[in-house]
Structure 1
Amino acid sequence: MDNSSFSQDPSVTAQFCSAGVDLSGLMQVLSKHLYSTPMVALRELVQNAHDSIIRRRLEHAGQPDTGRIQVIGDAKNGLIRIIDNGAGLTEDEIHAYLATVGVGYTRTLRQQDNDTGLIGMFGLGFLSAFVLAKQVMVTTTSYQNPQQGWRYRSANGEKYSTEPVNCREIGTEVTLLLRDEFSHLANEKVLNDILSRYCVLLREPIFIGQNLTPVNPDMPPWRRDGDIAVHPIQDRRLRIEFAARFEQNFEPICTVPVVPDGKSDAIGMLWVQDGSTYGTSDNRNLSIFLRGMLLDDDARDLLPPWAGFIGGVIESNKLTPTASREDLQRDSHYSAVQYALSESLITGLAEISRRQPEVWRRIIVRHNETLLGASLCDERLFDLLIDTIKVPTSQGDLRAQDLRSKGAIHVILDAKEGFEETLFQALGVPVAYGDRYAVVPFLRRWATAKGCQLVELGTNAGNKQLFKLDDLPINESEWLLSVLGDGEKLITSRFEPVELPLVVVHDREAELKKRLEDDETDKRVSIAALHLARQFTAKISATNTRQLYVNLNNPAVNALLEGFRTHHVGLNDAARMLKALKVIMSSRGSQTQAMALNSALSDFSQLIPQMLARSGGRVTENGESE
C-alpha cells in the first residue's frame, strides 16, 4: 500500500459527516495532550484490535479458534497498518462508536460482564491515532454483514467520511499515514521494541510484519500454575528468566509470587535485585498490566517504601486507570493491591530464608543496610532479620550479638567527633556507629528483645554506665582544667582501661539543645516542630557540649597530680605532653582541629628533647640510664 490508497474513488459517492464532539478544542486536547508519549497511541490501537477479537468471540459463533493481530510497517511510505480478525464494524457502529468521543461498545460489554478480558473503558483510544497520523483510514467488515465493507477516513478526528467498499475478511485494518516527526515508527524493529513492551502479556498473538513469532509468545509463569508440571528448580529458573525481561538495570536474584488475597486481585511476581544498595537507595520498579496491556512501568509507589531493592510485574482487572491509562486512580483497589504486595514480599522473603539459604545469604550481603532499615518497618521483618543482619562497627560489620561485652552493647552516636572509639579500641571491644542509617533504632529494639543493656555514648545515661565519678579537691580540679582543658567541662572519674589517661566525650544532648536554641534554627524548622523539640530540650540541663573525663586510675594522671602537690620542676612539661596526647587522640580533621593537632605535635617534638637534655644522663645500650 502507498499514499495513493488515501485518494478518494471518484466513482463512489462518499458521505461526509462531523464527529460527535460538542466542545470546541476538545479533540485537540485529547489527541495531543492526553498521553505522555506518542508511542502510547500504538498501544491503544492494538488494544482496540484485541478487544474486537474478544467481542467477536463473545458474539459470533463462527469466530476462528485463535485471534490474530498483525502490525505492518512501511518505512518507505510512512505507513503503519494494524490488522485484526475481530468483530469488525457496521456503518452504524462507525458513527456510533468510532467517530463519537467518549462512547465505546467495549465499555458496554464490560458493564454486562467484567470478566470478559476486554480492556477499553473510556472510548478515547481511537483518538490517539491522530497523535501520530496526519490521516487515518479504517477499512472494516463486520461479522454482522460479511458481504459489505466500509471505509472511514479522517485527517483530524473532527471531520470524517465513510464510504462502502468491497468486503474483506471479517475484521478491521487501521492505516496510519504518519506525521513526518513520527515517520521512524514505521520501522518494524521499532514497532517490535514498542509492542513487545506494551503487549507482552496480551493473550491474543501479535505479529510484526511477516514475522512468524509473535511479540508475546510466552505464557507468564503465574498463568501456567497448575496447568503444566514443572520441577521446582526449573520453575525458579523460568521465573528469573521472565523477570529479567522486565528488570532493566539489575540481575534478578530470586522471585516472590503475588497471588490474589480476596481484597486484591493482583497476580504476578516480585523479585530481589542483585545490585548492592544503601539505606537510601530506591531502585523499586513495578510494571502494571491491566487485562494484559501495560498500563504503567513505573508504579513504584505500590511497593513498600523500604523495598528499594525490589522489582516486579503484576496483572490486575480491578485497578482503575486514568483516562490516558498511563496511571492509576488512588482508590480502594489501589490500597488493597499496595497492601497485598507488601504482604507477599514479607512472607516471600521469609520463605526464601527457610528454603533457599544460599540465596538468602546473597540477599543479606547485597542489601544489608537497606534491610537494616526495613526491619524497623514491620515486626515480622525484624524477627526475620534479628540474628542475621549486621551493623557497622569499629571492628567492621558485625551482628548485634557479636557486639556484646559484659552484658551490654555500645554505640557511638556520632563517630565524626569525640574519641569514644579510641576508648573501645583500648578495651578491645567493638562499638557500633550510631550515625549510620537505622543503626540506633535497630539496636534499641534488639536490646529490648534480647534483654541486653544498650549504652549510647555521648548521652548522660550512657556516660554514667562507662565512667564512675570521683572527686578531687577543688584546687586540683581547677588546675587540671587549666592545663588540660580547651573549653571542655572537666569530670574526674575512674574507668577502664587504666592505660587511657583521659577522654573527650561530646554531649549529644547538649549539642541538640544548642542547635535548637540557635536563632538560625527558627528559619529552617517549622514552628510546631520547633516547639515540640524545645519542650524536650528544656529538660536537658547540660550546656557544655564537650566533656573531658580524666581517669584517676591512670598512673600518668596520678603522677601529674602528685607533681602538682609537690611543685615538681617538670610539672608544666608533663602537663603539656598529656594535653598534646588529648589533642592528638581527639583530632578529626576539621581546620580548627588540624591547627590544634599541629601545635600538639610541635609540643611533643620540643618536649622530648628538652626532657632528655634536663635529665643530663646517658642511656646505655639496654635502655637504662647511667
Structure 2
Amino acid sequence: MPAETLEFKAELKQLLRLITHSLYSDREIFLRELISNASDAVNKVRFDALANADKLEGNTDWKIKIAPDKEAKTLTISDNGIGMTRQEVIDHLGTVAQSGTRAFLEAAKASAQGAGPGLIGQFGVGFYSAFMVADTVTVVTRGPGTPADGTKWVSDGQGAFTVEAVEKPGRGTDVILHLKEDAAEFLDPWKLRSLVRKFSDFIEHPVVMDEVTEKDGEKTTTEETLNSRKAVWLRNKAEVKPDEYAEFYKQISHDSDPPLTTIHYAAEGNTEFKVLCFVPAKKPFSFDWEEPKAGLRLYVQRVLIMERCEEVLPFYLRFVKGVVDSADLPLNVSREILQQNPILTTIQKSVVKNVLDALAGMKNVEFEKYREFYAGLGPVLKEGLTRDFMNREKIADLLLFESANTPAGQLTTLAEYVEKMPEGQTDIFYLIGEDVEPLRRSPYLEAFRAKGQDVLLLSDPIDEFALPQLGEYKGKKLHAADRGAAPTADDIPADVKEQFAPLVAAFKATLPETADVRLTKRLTESAAVLVAEEHGTSAHMERLMERMGRGEGKGKRVLELNPDHPAVQAARELHSKSADDPRVAVYARLFHEQAVIAEGSKVADPTALAARVNELIARDAAR
C-alpha cells in the first residue's frame, strides 16, 4: 500500500502549535511520557497473553530501549509491547477522540504561565510532547499476530502526517525523534541516564541503553539497565524517601503536583497484600472531563493484572491513585473471578479504612491543606453518603460546611455544629441552594437566627441527594430548613389564626398552584415564604432535575405568611373591610411571587409581576 498523507484534526493542530511554540520549558518530560507509553504497551501485551499466549510470539524479553545516534541526530525509544495496526496508528496518533486534546487546550489556557508541560501526561497527550524536542517524529510499529509488514507514521507536527506499510519483523513500536538543533543534549548518554533515574526509575520493565567500552583496541557493546526497577510498594516504608513517593505518584497519576498524603502498608495474616496509594492535593485538571473510573492498579506478585480494579476501591474514592499487590490471587484471574473473590472484599475494606483514616488525620492536623483538597474533591467524597453505608459516619466526619453563624469563607464540621447547639435544639438544620451568599440572606433562616440556632449552608449539586441519605448524625436528625412546618416555630395563638382565617381562605382560592396557605412563625422580617411539605420536593431539587432533563413540572408548595409583618396585616385589614376588593387577589399574587424569587426560582410571568408592582407605585404616588 502506498504512503498516504492525512490531515490532523483542528484541535490537534492547535495542540501541536502550543507544544512547539509555548510549552518549551521543562521539555525533558518528553522522555518520561514516551517511556511510560512503552511500559503501558508491554503491560498490555502481557495481560492479553494471559488469555492468548500466541500473542507473545516467543518475544518475552520485556524491555524498553533508548538509542541515541549522534551522527544521525536521532533518539529512538523502542519497546516489544502490544504495537499498533495501521488503523490504530491513524486513530491514536491523528485524531482528537483518543487524546483529550480539547480539554488540554482549555486547561493550558487557564493555567499559570509555565505550568503547561506538567499537564501533558495528565491529559493523555504525552506522545505529542516529542515535538518539544523533535522537528520530525517517526513511528514504526507492528501489532501481535499480524504479518511482518508494519506501519510507518511520520509527521513534522505542522498539520499533516503520512502513513505507509514497512517491513518490521518483530512486534512492538519504535518512536524515532529527529532532534532539533537546540536539543542535542538529549543525545548525551549521561543526560539520558539521569532523566531515566529521575522520572522512570520505578518502571517495572528494564529501560536499557547500549554502552560501548573499549579495551586493548577492541570495542564491546553491552546493554546497560538504567532504572532500578524496585517496585516502591514492595519496599519497606522506612526506606522510601518522600521525593521517591512523589515521583512514583506523578508517574501513575500524571498529576504535576505532589500528593496530599501517602498511604503505604503491608497486610499480613490470612490474606497478604501490599498497598501504596495517594490522595491528590487538589482536584486534577483532567478530573471533570475524563471518563470517571475508580480502582487501583492490581498486581499479582508484581505482574500487572488490571489497570483499574474497581473491586478494591469504591467509586466515591476514585480520586485515589495507587497500587495493590496480592500474593494470594492467581495470575490468570479474570474479571468474573474478581467480582466473586472474597480476597478483594477484604482488600477493599482495608483500603477504604486507611484512606478515610488518612483524610481524618489530615483534617485534624493540617486543616488548610485538607481544606484545599476538600474545595475540589469534597463533592466527590459526599457521594459516599449514598453508596457506603458501613462508613457513612466516618465520611460525615470529613465533611466541611459554611453555616449561617460562621463568617463567610470559614468552615465548620458536623461535630462542631452539634457541640455548639443551644439547649433544647434536637435537630441539625441545613439549607441547600445554588450559591452560599444568597442562602445567607434567605428568609428561611430568620426564625433560626432569632433562636440562636445555626443552619448549614450547602451549594454542591450532590447535597440534595447525599444529605437526606445521611439522615442523622450522632443521634441528631438532619432537617431541611425549607421543608415541613418550621421546627423552631411557636404555636400561633388561636385568636390570631381566627383573625387571619378569611384572608388565608381568600389567598387559597386565588393561588391554586399552592398546596396550602398558612400562617407561620418561621419568619421574623419577611412577609411570605414557600416551603415544601416534609417529604416533598424542594424548589432547588426541581431546578436540578430540570437541568438534567428529568423535570416533571413544578410541584405544589405551601405559602406561609408572617402574621406580624405590616404588609400581611394590611392585606388582612383590606380584606376585612371589603372581601371583594380586587386588590386582595393582586396582593396574594405579589406575596406568592416574592416568595418564588426568595427561594431562587423564576416567576411564571415576569411581565405581569412588573405590571402589578408598577400599579402599586402609581397608586402610592397619587396619594
Structure 1 partner of 2:105: none
Q: Is the 8 A contact 2:266 2:273 kept in 1?
A: yes
Structure 1 residues 179 and 248: alpha-carbon distance in aligned structure 2, compared to 1, 3 A threshold: farther
Q: Is the 8 A contact 2:518 2:558 kept in 1?
A: no
Structure 2 partner of 1:314: 324
The reply to whether residue 269 of structure 1 matches residue 288 of structure 2 is: no
SS of the equivalent of 1:409 reads strand
- C-alpha displacement of 1:556: 2.3
Q: Is the 8 A contact 1:503 1:549 kept in 2?
A: yes
Distance 1:80 1:415 in 2: 52
The reply to whether residue 422 of structure 1 matches residue 432 of structure 2 is: no
Structure 2 partner of 1:481: 508
Q: Which amino acid aligns with 2:228?
A: P
Distance 1:81 1:510 in 2: 61
SS of the equivalent of 1:564 reads helix
Structure 1 residues 389 and 315: alpha-carbon distance in aligned structure 2, compared to 1, 3 A threshold: same
Structure 2 partner of 1:220: 231
- Post-superposition Cα deviations, 1:414-466, rounded to whole Å, max 9, x if no partner, equal 779xx9973235555645449842567547858540x5454334554x44654
SS of the equivalent of 1:559 reads helix
SS of the equivalent of 1:259 reads strand
Distance 2:344 2:247 in 1: 28
Distance 1:189 1:316 in 2: 39
- C-alpha displacement of 1:368: 1.9
* Residue among 613, 617, 620 paired with 1:608: 617
* TM-score, reference length from structure 2: 0.54
Of 297-306 and 471-480, deviating more is 471-480
Q: Is the 8 A contact 1:265 1:316 kept in 2?
A: yes
Aligned residue-pair number: 435
Structure 2 partner of 1:235: 241
Structure 1 residues 383 and 279: alpha-carbon distance in aligned structure 2, compared to 1, 3 A threshold: farther
Structure 1 residues 288 and 343: alpha-carbon distance in aligned structure 2, compared to 1, 3 A threshold: same
Q: Which amino acid aligns with 1:505?
A: V
Structure 1 residues 214 and 341: alpha-carbon distance in aligned structure 2, compared to 1, 3 A threshold: farther
* Counterparts of residues 206-605 of structure 1 (less than 5 Å): 207-210=208-211, 213-214=224-225, 216-225=227-236, 235-249=241-255, 251=257, 252-276=259-283, 282=292, 284-322=294-332, 330-353=340-363, 359-374=369-384, 386=396, 389-391=399-401, 398-400=412-414, 401-402=416-417, 407=425, 408-412=427-431, 422-426=442-446, 430-433=455-458, 436-438=461-463, 442=467, 445=470, 447-449=472-474, 451-452=475-476, 454-457=478-481, 459-460=483-484, 462-463=485-486, 465-466=488-489, 468=491, 471-472=497-498, 475-482=502-509, 485-507=511-533, 509=535, 545-567=556-578, 572-573=582-583, 576-577=586-587, 579-587=589-597, 593-605=602-614
Q: Is the 8 A contact 1:490 1:550 kept in 2?
A: no
Distance 1:268 1:566 in 2: 78
Distance 1:430 1:580 in 2: 28
Structure 1 residues 544 and 186: alpha-carbon distance in aligned structure 2, compared to 1, 3 A threshold: closer
Q: Is the 8 A contact 1:73 1:188 kept in 2?
A: no
Distance 2:281 2:358 in 1: 16
Structure 1 residues 273 and 300: alpha-carbon distance in aligned structure 2, compared to 1, 3 A threshold: farther
Q: Is the 8 A contact 1:282 1:307 kept in 2?
A: no
Structure 2 partner of 1:114: none
Structure 1, unaligned runs of 5 or more:
1-31, 51-68, 83-127, 136-177, 516-523, 525-542, 616-626
- C-alpha displacement of 1:309: 1.1
Distance 1:495 1:422 in 2: 15
Distance 1:345 1:198 in 2: 26
Distance 1:582 1:594 in 2: 9
- C-alpha displacement of 1:71: 6.0
Q: Is the 8 A contact 1:413 1:434 kept in 2?
A: yes
- Post-superposition Cα deviations, 1:152-188, rounded to whole Å, max 9, x if no partner, equal xxxxxxxxxxxxxxxxxxxxxxxxxx96597872457
Q: Is the 8 A contact 2:47 2:304 kept in 1?
A: no
SS of the equivalent of 1:270 reads strand
Q: Is the 8 A contact 1:240 1:254 kept in 2?
A: no
Q: Is the 8 A contact 2:296 2:322 kept in 1?
A: yes
Distance 1:247 1:33 in 2: 21
Q: Is the 8 A contact 2:294 2:317 kept in 1?
A: yes
Q: Which amino acid aligns with 1:500?
A: S
Distance 2:58 2:261 in 1: 33
- C-alpha displacement of 1:256: 0.3
Q: Is the 8 A contact 2:276 2:323 kept in 1?
A: yes
Structure 1 residues 225 and 606: alpha-carbon distance in aligned structure 2, compared to 1, 3 A threshold: same
Q: Is the 8 A contact 1:424 1:431 kept in 2?
A: no
* Counterparts of residues 176-195 of structure 1 (less than 5 Å): 185-187=173-175
Distance 1:389 1:80 in 2: 48
Q: Is the 8 A contact 1:507 1:544 kept in 2?
A: no
Of 340-349 and 207-216, deviating more is 207-216
* TM-score, reference length from structure 1: 0.54
Q: Is the 8 A contact 1:286 1:299 kept in 2?
A: yes
Q: Is the 8 A contact 2:204 2:230 kept in 1?
A: yes
- C-alpha displacement of 1:240: 1.8
Distance 1:70 1:33 in 2: 14
Distance 1:183 1:309 in 2: 35
- C-alpha displacement of 1:244: 1.6
Q: Is the 8 A contact 2:311 2:338 kept in 1?
A: no
Structure of higher CA gyration radius: 1
Distance 2:169 2:614 in 1: 76
- Post-superposition Cα deviations, 1:329-349, rounded to whole Å, max 9, x if no partner, equal 853444443344334433444
The reply to whether residue 131 of structure 1 matches residue 145 of structure 2 is: yes
Q: Is the 8 A contact 1:199 1:216 kept in 2?
A: yes
Distance 1:300 1:366 in 2: 22
Q: Is the 8 A contact 2:263 2:355 kept in 1?
A: yes
- Post-superposition Cα deviations, 1:529-568, rounded to whole Å, max 9, x if no partner, equal xxxxxxxxxxxxxx98321222222222223222322339
Structure 1 residues 42 and 402: alpha-carbon distance in aligned structure 2, compared to 1, 3 A threshold: farther
Structure 2 partner of 1:142: none
| Cα RMSD, aligned residues only | 5.6
Distance 2:513 2:615 in 1: 24
Structure 1 residues 250 and 374: alpha-carbon distance in aligned structure 2, compared to 1, 3 A threshold: farther
Q: Percent identity?
A: 13
Q: Is the 8 A contact 1:288 1:315 kept in 2?
A: yes
Structure 1 residues 239 and 72: alpha-carbon distance in aligned structure 2, compared to 1, 3 A threshold: closer
